[in-house]
Amino acid sequence: MFHFYKYALMLAIYGTSSLCLFAQAVQDQTKKEGNPAKKKESIQPQKKKLRVRLPVIEVVEDKPLSAASSRRVRRQDLKIRPITKPTDMLQIVPGLVTAQHAGGGKATQYFLRGFDLDHGTDLALSVDGMPINMVSHGHGQGYADIHFLIPEVYKEVLVRKGPYFVDVGDFGTAGAVEFRSFDEIPENQISVSGGMFQTYRTLFLHQSKSSHFKPILAVETYHSNGPFENPEKLKRVNLFFKNVFVEKKDTRLSLTAMGYASKWNASGQIPERAVKSGLISRFGSIDNSEGGSTQRFSLSTNYVSEEANAKTEMNAYWIYYNFNLFSNFTFYKDDPINGDQIAQFDRRHILGAEAKHTIPYSIFSMRASTLFGGRIRTDLIQNELYHSVQRKLIQPKTRSEITQSNLSAFLEQRLVFTSWVRFVGGARAEYMLFEVNDLLENKGTTTTAANPTDPKTSGQTDDAKLFPKANLIFSPTRNWDIFLNFGMGFHSNDARGTVIANDPNRQSVTPMTVATGYEVGSRVFLWKRLDLAASLWLLDLESEIVWVGDEGTTEASGRSRRYGTDLEARLRLWRWLYFDADVTINTAKFRDNPGNANSIALAPRLTVTSGITIKNLNGFDASIRLRHIGDRPANETGSLVAEGYTVIDAYLAYRYRQFEWFAIAKNITNTPWKEVQFATQSQLKGEANPVEEIHFVPGTPLAVEGGMRFFF
């Protein structure tokens, strides 16, 4: 009961402050609209005031990036990449590797800065201020499925690495990625494309240009069987609607609705021995009933008011989510008769809101600004894990009702000491509340060490922490910045793991796992054509203990340290010819075992992405792109190795008036590669004992797609 009142009090404080901000914004708007007879008198002084304050705004906002490894990817950069699905948008992030391993509808695996991020545990993803990561997800903590995004409706992708930013909260330890949609699309279009493996995609994108309403409507359909012998039969439908209400030039209110539904089959992760023995081919499967389905619907609203002396931003959202997944990683290891297939279900509603306010001002002759804000989010979750056979449920393993809430407050101070020294720093306070009702728990008995068969995993816990951030930026010249960064961040842990301390036979996890990051870097722009960036970074994670959704239990590991370097280069060779290259070199180790067996499994050590691009050469756009990931240990001892790969993709498009024809070729060298690899202990039918070895999902062979866009 104490936790409830504490949470209610914090909610009341946050709600009151948010209402005050909103009331102030409405009051300011009313004052601006005021008496029509006075509009002409008020507008002109406002313009003069804006001109006077403009230098302050420019100094604070002209260099918004406070770390060398941060980047803002514009639409023109996305346009000439071979993008056929939402995850392709992430390929532009330096050092970020994505991998699909259970059909095209499941969230991809993410790798960044020495992290095997699973499906998003240490990478915060969001769209227009609405979080994508799922807390206490049935398959894995921080699960981030971006397949509901339609690439053409997004104008830019903001990439920020490290825990240095006060407006990034849960999961933002390795970094954060935010997708930002258009308020006004450049052109309406109808797009149709198709290719190998019975792949096709259609897109309708339209915006009305009426004076009062400018709604954007996008509808996408996608189908693919993939290269597998057990066809994926992936079917996906995406809907996007957005309307921006613009009452004044400096005020914007938008409403966005999104819908997504998909279903698919999966060939699963196959053992190397099964391929080498000829039992199956590289594109075969052991359990051909794997697969799943997902539905996601959301409503969100964003309000922005910008004036010469203040900026107010608010957003609120509701999300409904339904997830079903059938997987079999160990085949017949635990159940030689029925097999080891599991079914995971996750259904939830998510409610959340955020408000922040920025005030620019001067301290003596020093320019400054202060940002303060807060965020609240509540997930109402139903999670289930079953033993299944051919998608038929046999026995429940876990069934839980979870309420997980997060309340945040943050403050950021920007100071411009001189024209070449500025500071960006602050702190973020987080409060987490976890409530778990284990539906399989027998509440009439008591768990003891002598009677461990009925664990008590219902309960309630909470935690609160403060995370400081500090960034110092030196600018020796207008086009050269040097960054010094420090920050602490966190990822929340699965609610079931935080209350599992009630079970004496299983290890609990802390509500929040803290990460501490340090970075030094530089970014320089030379000769109006060369953009270079380099950074050295280090990140300590206090614990690698995580909840394993596939087993319904915790997995214990110790403290870890990751460090490395990021290198970036962008060169405009000619007005229509560009070259880019990104290289990351990483090391990831467990700190509590400095000798052998301290490698972090699947942590990427070397990644390279590079490409040559042609933009608008007599109507032609083209690019050829390379991505490489080096060998990396698949287990802590390094006795099993996940093999690296190099894949080259190409894109070609030609536009004539309102028509554009395009072609995409993936893996143009037809390289055999393994997209996902795990060290797994499994047992096939007929085997006497389990075998631990590499299990993998093969990467796409040569795949060609083509299509046409009509702009209107």
Q: How would residue 212 be classed by pLDDT, with cut points 50, 70 and 90?
A: confident
Q: How many CA atoms lie within 13 A of 592 on its CB side?
A: 9
Tokens 């060998």 locate to: 631
Q: What is the pLDDT of residue 76?
A: 66
The answer to whether residue 453 sits within a structural domain is no
pTM over 0.85: yes
The answer to whether residue 451 sits within a structural domain is no
Name which residue leads in pLDDT, 61 or 536.
536
Q: How would residue 94 be classed by pLDDT, with cut points 50, 70 and 90?
A: confident
The answer to whether residue 531 sits within a structural domain is yes
The pLDDT tens digits for 224-283 are 999 999 999 999 999 999 999 876 778 899 999 999 999 999 989 999 999 999 999 999
CB neighbour list of residue 601: distance below 8 Å, 6 or more residues apart: 116, 633, 634, 635, 636, 679
Lowest mean pLDDT among 287-291, 329-333, 506-510: 506-510
> CA 470, 476, 478, 480 torsion: positive or negative?
negative
Interatomic CA distance for residues 228 and 40, integer angstroms: 68
Long-range contacts of 186-192 (CB under 8 A, 24+ apart): 186/75, 187/711, 187/712, 188/711, 188/712, 189/152, 189/709, 189/710, 189/711, 189/712, 190/709, 190/710, 190/712, 191/152, 191/707, 191/708, 191/709, 191/710, 192/707, 192/708
Q: How would residue 546 be classed by pLDDT, with cut points 50, 70 and 90?
A: low
Lowest mean pLDDT among 239-248, 441-450, 684-693: 441-450
- Structure tokens, 704: 């060609």
SS3 354: strand
Average pLDDT value for the chain: 86
Mean pLDDT of 202-206: 98
Number of domains in the chain: 1
The answer to whether residue 449 sits within a structural domain is no
- Identify whether the C-beta of residue 437 lies closer than 8 Å to the C-beta of residue 456: no
Q: How would residue 353 be classed by pLDDT, with cut points 50, 70 and 90?
A: very high
Q: What is the pLDDT of residue 562?
A: 95
- Identify whether the C-beta of residue 296 lies closer than 8 Å to the C-beta of residue 319: yes
- How buried is residue 306: exposed, middle or buried, by Cβ count under 10 Å (0-12/13-18/19+)? middle
Lowest mean pLDDT among 50-64, 106-120, 447-461, 639-653: 50-64
The answer to whether residue 456 sits within a structural domain is no
pLDDT over threshold 90, residue 364: no
At position 506, the amino acid (one-letter code) is R
Cα–Cα distance list, 435 to 86, 132, 379, 498 (Å): 33, 21, 11, 9
The answer to whether residue 446 sits within a structural domain is no
pLDDT over threshold 80, residue 394: yes
Rounded (5°) CA angle 433-438-442: 140
Tokens 């992405």 locate to: 609
pLDDT over threshold 50, residue 55: no
Pairing of strands 620-629, 270-271: unpaired
The answer to whether residue 374 sits within a structural domain is yes
At position 679, the amino acid (one-letter code) is A
- Identify whether the C-beta of residue 103 lies closer than 8 Å to the C-beta of residue 264: yes
Residue 221: domain span: 2-440+461-711
Pairing of strands 175-181, 123-127: parallel
Mean pLDDT of 572-595: 89
Cα–Cα distance list, 673 to 181, 281, 285 (Å): 34, 14, 17
Q: What is the pLDDT of residue 1?
A: 40
Write the CATH number for 485.
2.40.170.20
Which conformational region is residue 591 in: left (phi greater than 0), alpha (psi within -120 to 50 degrees), or beta?
alpha
- Structure tokens, 687: 């085997």
pLDDT over threshold 80, residue 356: yes
The pLDDT tens digits for 292-323 are 999 999 999 999 998 877 999 999 999 999 99
Q: What is the pLDDT of residue 218?
A: 98
CB neighbour list of residue 627: distance below 8 Å, 6 or more residues apart: 91, 97, 607, 608, 609, 646, 647, 649
Q: What is the pLDDT of residue 95?
A: 82
- Structure tokens, 163: 């825990």
Mean pLDDT of 495-505: 72
pLDDT over threshold 80, residue 390: yes
Q: What is the pLDDT of residue 73?
A: 76
- Structure tokens, 638: 């390094």
Backbone angles phi, psi at 332, to 5 degrees: -130, 25
SS3 406: strand
The answer to whether residue 31 sits within a structural domain is yes
Interatomic CA distance for residues 575 and 591, integer angstroms: 49
